[in-house]
Amino acid sequence: MSTLKKLVTTAAVSISLVIGISAAVQAQSLGTPVDESQLKNFDLIAQADGSGYPDGGGTAIQGKAIFERRCVACHGMNGEGTSANTRLVGGDMQSEERPIRTVGSYWPHASTLFDYVQRAMPADAPKSLSSSEVYQVIAYVLNMNGIIEDSLLLNKESLMQVEMPNKDGFIDSSQAL
C-alpha cells in the first residue's frame, strides 16, 4: 500500500471511529424516560369513530366567553378571521369562484374540530384548555356556523351526532388503488 493510500485509509478509519463513538454516546444520552402522566398530553387522538374522547362537555353559551377571551384576537369576534386561513365561519363550497373553506363549509366531521382545537389551539398556548373548555368553545364555533343550537350539551356522545353540512362532499378513495 502506498503511503498516501495508507494515510487516507487511516483517516477514513479514524473518522468512522469518531462518528461511531459519538453516535453511540449520543444514543446513550438522548432523551429521558417518560412516565404515564407525561404521556397523557401527547396521546390526544380523538377520531371520527368516537374513540379517544375525554369526559366533560358544555354548551355554546359557555363557549362564547372562552372564544371571546382566547380566540378573537386571531379569529375575529364572529369567527370571520383576520386572514384567509383563520376564518372559521361561513364560506361556500359551491361557489363559482374559488371555494371558501371553513370549519362550517368544508370539514366533514365535527370530531376533527375537537381533535384539532384540543391539540393545536389557541395557537399562542396550545393544550391550555381543559377538555370541557374544548367542548364548549367548539360548540360555539359550530353554533356560529348555524350547525347546532346554543343550548345543546356537547360531549363525547352528542358530538358524534353532529352532522356537518359538507359530510357528503368527500370521496373515499382509500380502496381505489
Nearer CB in complex with ligand HEC: 38/47: 47
Of 114, 122, 148, 159, the one binding ligand HEC (CB under 6 A) is 122
Of 123, 130, 161, 170, the one binding ligand HEC (CB under 6 A) is 123
Nearest distance, CB of residue 43 and ligand HEC, angstroms: 21
Is residue 110 close enough to count as binding ligand HEC by CB under 6 A?
Answer: no
- Contact (Cβ atoms closer than 8 angstroms) between residue 164 and residue 109: yes
- Binding segment for ligand HEC (CB under 6 A), chosen from 8-16, 48-56, 122-130, 169-177, is 122-130
What residues from 77 to 106 belong to the interface with ligand HEC (CB under 6 A)? 85-86, 88, 102-103
Residue 110 CB partners (closer than 8 Å, separation 6+)? 138, 142, 147, 159, 162, 164
- Binding segment for ligand HEC (CB under 6 A), chosen from 8-16, 116-124, 152-160, 169-177, is 116-124
CA 18 from chain centre, in angstroms, equals: 41
CA 145 from chain centre, in angstroms, equals: 20
Is residue 109 close enough to count as binding ligand HEC by CB under 6 A?
Answer: no
Q: Which residues bind ligand HEC (CB under 6 A)?
A: 70-71, 73-75, 85-86, 88, 102-103, 113, 116-117, 121-124, 137, 141
